[in-house]
Amino acid sequence: MKKLLVSFTLMLTLCRSYADEGMWLPMLLGQQVYNDMVKHGLKLKPEQLYSMNKASIKDAIVIFGGGCTGEIVSNQGLIFTNHHCGYGAIAAASTVEANYLQDGFWAADKSKEISSKLSVKFLNRIEDVTQKVNDALGNLSAAERTKKYSEVVAEIVKGIVGDDEFKDAVVASMFKGNQFFVFVYDVYKDIRLVGTPPESIGKFGGDTDNWEWPRHTGDFSVFRVYMSKDGKPSKYDASNVPFKPKYYLPVSLKGFKDGDYSMIYGYPGGTNRYETSYGVKLATDITSPTLVKLRDMRLKYMLEEMKKDPAVRLQLASNYAGIANYWKFFDGETKQLLKFDIFGQKQKAEIAFTEWAKGKSEYENIFTDVAKNYDAWNAYAKHRQYINEGILGSPLVAYAASWLSVENLLSKKDFKPEEIKKAMDAATAARKNFLADENKKSDQHILAAVLSMFYSDVDKDQHPKGFYEDLFKTNNDIEQNPYKMFAAEVFANTMAFDDAKWKAFTEKPNAADLGKDPAFKIAKSFIMNYNMNYVPKYAAFVNKNNDLNRMYLKGLFSKDSVKMNSTYPDANFTMRVSYGNVKSYAPKDAVKYDFACTISGVAAKYVKGDYEFDLPAKFLDLYKAKDFGEYADKKLNDVVVSFITTNDITGGNSGSPVIDAKGNLIGLAFDGNYEALSHKLAFDKDLNRTICVDVRYVLWCIDKLGGAKHIVDELTLVRN
């Protein structure tokens, strides 16, 4: 406990760097941080790390899809990222007959690469817009400040992007609204699948091994970005050519040892290390346990059906993976926050701040106001989680909720027929997508369970008026389970599944018929109840909290006489670099974990036919023959599958390159370790580890297992 207290206390006093903590803005590293990187082992110059005028490592890093990182690894636009980052695109390209998700895929040449709906973004430039934003916001607070902020951000973005669909700009708030940068991106929309290992490699270990070390998952996939013939960003076109990057990463076959330098670039999604004790308590007592409970239920019913049918497994795979990932994360985070008493540690820091703030009118009442703000919201926090993770966790109800906009149009006295037609065409298209992804059996179980759980767990005064009374009137056989009976009736009678009913409605849409649909009744009852009664409370809570947190951070900088550019802000999906070392660790008494694991460990976990630990026959044949090629670690005479580093990362860093002291790619970051899942709120300098797939295993899977050596030949390999 002492080790975490020390790290956390230093964080609250706005230290410049401590141990390997920090996701740094690469353009603001500063000499002190660079010197510390050199002490850790870095051999590169600052301009090689980041330069706006010359090619540098930052030019090889992309935002991949909607929430991951990728890296350019060849002069032909080849991208490495995680398997779970490409999962949706791989699943979309798969059919039961050509199941690339299950069996893997390697394009024999560029003409065989598969188009996707993905896009990637390259960072073009960064501008400090703090003065412009602050001038616009003036002394506004709470809701007025939020509204004005949205307006000024839209104005800045419009001024940069205009109508160019291949540019994007994001105004990012740093230090909870005390500093603002605009990040400008070039957007490429022709991204093609080059290759993926079988799911048994890319997800080996499944949920059992998720967030755990040792980890034997080959979490990688390969894509390529294309551009127009004249070198510009483009949508998919058969005449497009492979992208020519400003910079790409060489790939190292040299290996590494315990203690070697490691650096990670990428787009970490979000941390909240300046959160107050009140926010921590809300998370550990209400929001996280509720989320875990609801996701646990949803996963249970989905997995039951996935195990029965390969087609269902393929259908639900992407959604299941997304739900499962953060189900386990929030469970682990809660346990770590409680174990190390992060709540108590934050309280101590807040007491010290309040003592310093006495007599300073700008700061002295901050925590009195914070307490009042949380007191006003806490009673409704569970309800909000039940809407987002429970009621809308039923795909049917989530789809039926989209009909609210249709009802709104139909309820207008002066609606225009062309508006209705447009709305119905959109609803029909959405229905087609919904039905393609819908598994009725699991969803029906989910609906029954969540209605029961909402009734038991959410304060009765917050229930939608009349809903449960009506449910029990027609479903009053306790032995038969009224919730299961009700869910069965909903699924049997909604027009969402009935083509004839849907056709009749779309031909003569009216609010009365829509209001009778049982799925729509559920969606409307719960969502309208929440929107009318609790959304305003949540908005007031968030707006006030933003104001108070902004002032708290401003006060901390004043208290500790620290400049913003000398420390790192919370992650917010802007480019960051973290540095540390490859390093083993001892998580508990009498247990020490090595820094790397190997193919031998994969084979040792193999269970024939198992949902999580099966392996392709060719993998086992290659392993038995010790056919490792030049990808084996010379000391181990085995292929290193994954390794751990002390780097500071979070969600969004999935797919990020792990780079050695000389700038070579040695792996791809894909996970954190269970013992340090408190990292969004508090960094643990001793236990924090980033789990990375070794690039040599990636190449072994491509070449030996996949038979796609032509892809490896495209890389610049560093052997000495």
Question: What are 600's two structure tokens?
Answer: 């031998």
Give whole-number Cα distances, 614 to 416, 620, 628, in Å: 57, 10, 20
State how far the Cα of 34 lies from the Cα of 26, in Å rounded to an integer.
Answer: 10
**669 forms bridges with which residues in the sheet?**
692
Report which residue type is found at 659. I
Catalytic site residue from 654, 660, 679, 703:
654
Q: Which residues contact 704 (CB under 8 A, 6 or more apart)?
A: 622, 627, 628, 629, 631
CA nearest neighbour of 672 among 683, 661, 659, 660? 683
DSSP H or E run through 225 = strand 221-227
Strand, helix or coil for residue 183: strand
Query: For residue 231, how many other CB atoms are within 10 A of its CB?
Result: 10
Give whole-number Cα distances, 404 to 386, 424, 460, 527, 546, in Å: 19, 12, 25, 9, 30
- Looking from the CA of 298 toward its CB, the CA atoms found within 13 Å total 29
State how far the Cα of 273 lies from the Cα of 15, in Å rounded to an integer.
Answer: 13
Q: Determine whether 216 is an active site residue.
A: no
In the numeric block, the tokens 């917010």 are attached to 572
In the numeric block, the tokens 């010197």 are attached to 35
* Radius of gyration in angstroms for the set of CA atoms belonging to the chain, rounded to a whole number: 26
DSSP letter for 630, please.
Answer: G
- Angle 594-598-599 from CA coordinates, rounded to 5°: 160
CA nearest neighbour of 15 among 687, 689, 688, 685? 685
Strand, helix or coil for residue 199: helix
φ, ψ of residue 402 in degrees (nearest 5): -70, -15
Q: Determine whether 425 is an active site residue.
A: no
Catalytic site residue from 186, 207, 209, 219:
219
Catalytic site residue from 84, 216, 445, 679:
84
Q: Which residues contact 25 (CB under 8 A, 6 or more apart)?
A: 181, 568, 569, 574, 575, 576
Question: What are 487's two structure tokens?
Answer: 């869910």
DSSP for 490-522?
HHHH-TTS-HHHHHHHHHS--HHHHHH-HHHHH
Q: Are strands 261-266 and 251-252 parallel, antiparallel or unpaired?
A: unpaired
φ, ψ of residue 339 in degrees (nearest 5): -60, -40
Instruction: Please check whether residue 614 is in contact with residue 657, taking contact to mean a CB–CB distance below 8 angstroms.
Output: no
In the numeric block, the tokens 């795979």 are attached to 317
Question: What are 715's two structure tokens?
Answer: 């890389």
Within its chain, how far is the Cα of 598 from the centroid?
27
Strand, helix or coil for residue 244: coil
**333 forms bridges with which residues in the sheet?**
none
Residue length of the chain: 720
DSSP for 665-687?
EEEEEEEE-GGGTTTTT---TTT
State how far the Cα of 194 lies from the Cα of 171, in Å rounded to an integer.
Answer: 33
Q: Determine whether 679 is an active site residue.
A: no
- Largest Cα separation within the chain, whole Å, is 78
Report which residue type is found at 69. T
CA nearest neighbour of 58 among 72, 38, 37, 75? 72
Within its chain, how far is the Cα of 470 from the centroid?
39
**Residues forming the active site:** 84, 219, 654
